[in-house]
Each structure stands twice: as structure tokens, then as C-alpha cells.
Amino acid sequence: MASADAKIYSRSEIAAMKEKGEVRATPADAPEMQLDEAFWQWARIVETRPRRKASVHLRLDPATLDFFRSAGRGHLTRMANILTAYAEAQAQSKRGEG
């Protein structure tokens, strides 16, 4: 998750900012920041894009599959969203947050 002082922009938003002159390259004479040993001691690699989803084979009762299909297109996405919400709720209850 991004920190409070970080913002996420789409490519189209960045392109619009460039057109308005709000974004420009770092000047060649910009001062360099020196990072001491303490910085590197606590530095961590952060994933910048979400991990790819895994493809799985799942055997369901026909009634369960019919229930999700009855709501129309996107039944697999709905099923994945429900599983994600359940996993997050379980993780929160284990941490004592909910």
C-alpha cells in the first residue's frame, strides 16, 4: 500500500500533466541525496504492481455454481471477490482487528 505522501497516477493522467507543463525531467544540476547506512539497513523492496492471479481448478456443487451463474456474466469474478473478502476478514480476526 502506498504511503500517505505517495500518489498513484495513470498513464493518461501523467500525459495530461505533461501537456499542462506540470511534469518535467529532473534538472541535470539537481542536488543528489546521499543515503547513509541507516537508510539501507531499513530499506525494503516493495512490489509496484499486483501479483498475477493464479488459475485454479475448483469443484463446486451444481447448486452453488447455478447460484452464481444466475446473476449473469461475471460469476467467476464475483466468486473470487467473495473468497478475497472472506480471506481478508479471517486475517483481520486473527490480528484482532474485527
User: Per residue in 8-51, pLDDT tens?
Assistant: 889 999 999 989 988 888 888 988 888 889 888 888 888 888 88
Is there a domain that residue 75 lies in?
yes
Give the distance from CA 9 to its chain's centroid: 13
Give the number of C-alpha atoms closer than 13 A to the C-alpha of residue 10, restricted to the C-beta side. Answer: 3
**What's the whole-model pTM score?**
0.47
Rounded to whole angstroms, the Cα distance separating 21 from 14 reads 10
List the grid coordinates of 1: 500500500
Total domains in the chain come to 1
List the grid coordinates of 12: 493518461
Is there a domain that residue 37 lies in?
no
Is there a domain that residue 6 lies in?
no
Is there a domain that residue 85 lies in?
yes
Residue corresponding to grid cell 547506512: 37
User: Among candidates 38, 7, 34, 44, which has minimal Cα distance to 23?
Assistant: 7
Domain containing 71 equals: 54-98
